[in-house]
Each structure stands twice: as C-alpha cells, then as structure tokens.
Amino acid sequence: MTARSVLGAAIPQLYVADIDRACRWYAEALGFAEVFRQGDPACYAQVARDAARLNLRRVEAPLVAPARVAAEEYLAATILLDDIARFYAGCRATRVTLHRALTGQAWGALDFVVRDADGNLLLFTGPG
C-alpha cells in the first residue's frame, strides 16, 4: 500500500493593481504583515497573519469584471478563524468593506465576506 502525501496550507494568489496599496490595506484593515516583496517596482508580494498567507500579484486590469465578482460572489480565498465573532467585531471597528455580513450557515459555521481595495472577496469562517 502506498503512503499518502500530507498536504500543507494553501496560499491563494490575489490579483491587485498596486502592490504598495494592497500591502498597506491588508496591514491596516486586517492586521496582516508583509512577508516579502519582489521587483522594482513591486510586482509580487506576500502578506501573512498567523497561519494565513496571501500572495499578491500585480496586474494591469481586473481579470474578471468587478460587477460579476460581486454578483457571483467569486471568492479569492477562504480563511479559517478560531473566534469569528471577535474578528468580525474588529473588521466592523476598522470599517472594512463587508460584501456579506456575519451569517449562520446550515452546516453550523458562521461566515462573512470582506471586499479588499481591489475588489477581491475573502470569506472568513469559523465554528458557529
């Protein structure tokens, strides 16, 4: 019998118009810290908070029309939380743009969706 490989954390790649602005937004709005930045001018970066990491890649224009992202709720990343109520309260206090407010799901989770400065949608979820 073949042993199974163990998968590590996934690190989604988000597309942004400006690396400096995106890194600043993730730091100020959600408490992430910059891990690295590549290029001059910057074309790629990574931000992290605890075990969550996001790669940021500069693009000239959105890959999907912003109205469609919002209407279809195209999620760029899902981030798991141990205390969703506290994190949600922090997002409300910093006036993060909510795409969807804190919602209880049929499967027992609580979640909400945040829209970043480039229109990327991030789902935050945790036990209800």
* 60 located within any domain: yes
Q: What is the DSSP letter of 84?
A: H
Does some domain include residue 28? yes
Residue 4 in domain: no
pLDDT digits (tens, 9 = 90+) for 18-63: 999 999 999 999 999 999 999 999 999 999 999 999 999 999 998 9
Neighbouring CB atoms inside 10 A of 77's CB total 19
Residue 6 clears pLDDT 70, i.e. is over it: yes
Residue-range definition of the domain harbouring residue 66: 13-127
9 contacts: CB under 8 Å, gap ≥ 6: 51, 53
Residue 114 maps to a domain: yes
If one counts the domains in the chain, the total is 1
For residue 8, tell me if it sits in a domain: no
**H-only helix segments in 3-128:** 19-30, 66-72, 84-93
Is residue 5 included in any domain, yes or no? no
Residue 20 in domain = yes
CATH number of domain containing 39: 3.10.180.10
Confidence grade of residue 3 (pLDDT, cut at 50, 70, 90) = confident
